[in-house]
């Protein structure tokens, strides 16, 4: 139990919810259990987030914003952006688990829609800017989908333990991402 005494309660609740999501999965999060783990009254999470969906949406928005910050540092290299994606996700498994559960989130949240769209824009723009001049827009879009599928799949396989977790995930991610075939002249 965290034992909340002062400070930023919504931020603490989100941090505790991220821990719960990493440990138990997003479906297992309840406001009552979050309150118990955070050492606050049962009404505290309701006061700040309204509903479980509100809490999870806020957690997903926070996750997308942090992921976007990580991706933004690698806008000149799609391969290193892929490594940044994998690294960030492995370091934030609770956020990551919630971000990709749209049925648990509020699709009408403007903050969520914008943060999610920004992640796609960062990825697809980096793919497009590195593409040869003769590459068509549909091919570029498929390249962006392939890049996303590879990094998202790799994270999912490691976090679910479907593939053994490598000794150095950054090195392995770099090796896998290089297989994208997006090497540019």
- Secondary structure (3-state) at 74: coil
Rounded (10°) CA dihedral 128, 66, 60, 44: -160
Cα separations (Å) of 155 from 21, 80, 122, 168, 178?
Answer: 15, 15, 18, 13, 15
Round to whole Å and give the CA distance between 23 and 19.
6
The second-level CATH assignment, the architecture, of 55-180 is Orthogonal Bundle (1.10)
What's the whole-model pTM score? Answer: 0.91
Q: Where exactly are the structural domains of the chain?
A: 9-52, 55-180
Structure confidence by residue, pLDDT tens digits, 99-157? 999 999 999 999 999 999 999 999 999 998 888 888 888 999 999 999 999 999 999 99
Structure confidence by residue, pLDDT tens digits, 5-44? 557 899 999 999 999 999 999 999 999 999 999 999 999 9
Q: Is the domain 9-52 a CATH 1.10.1060 member?
A: no
């Amino acid at each position: 139990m965290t034992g909340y005494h002062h400070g930023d309660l919504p931020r603490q609740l989100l941090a505790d919810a991220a821990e719960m999501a990493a440990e138990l999965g997003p479906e297992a999060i309840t406001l009552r259990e979050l309150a118990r783990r955070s050492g606050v009254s049962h009404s505290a999470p309701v006061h700040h987030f309204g509903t479980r969906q509100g809490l999870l949406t806020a957690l997903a928005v926070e996750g997308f914003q942090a992921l976007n910050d990580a991706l933004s540092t690698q806008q000149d290299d799609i391969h290193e952006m892929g490594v940044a994606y994998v690294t960030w996700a492995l370091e934030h498994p609770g956020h990551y688990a919630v971000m990709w559960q749209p049925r648990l989130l509020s699709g009408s949240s403007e903050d969520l829609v914008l943060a999610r769209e920004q992640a796609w824009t960062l990825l697809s723009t980096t793919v497009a800017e590195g593409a040869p001049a003769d590459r068509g827009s549909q091919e570029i879009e498929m390249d962006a989908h392939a890049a996303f599928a590879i990094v998202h799949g790799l994270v999912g396989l490691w976090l679910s333990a479907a593939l053994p977790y490598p000794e150095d995930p950054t090195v392995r991610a770099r090796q896998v991402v290089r297989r994208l075939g997006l090497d540019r002249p």
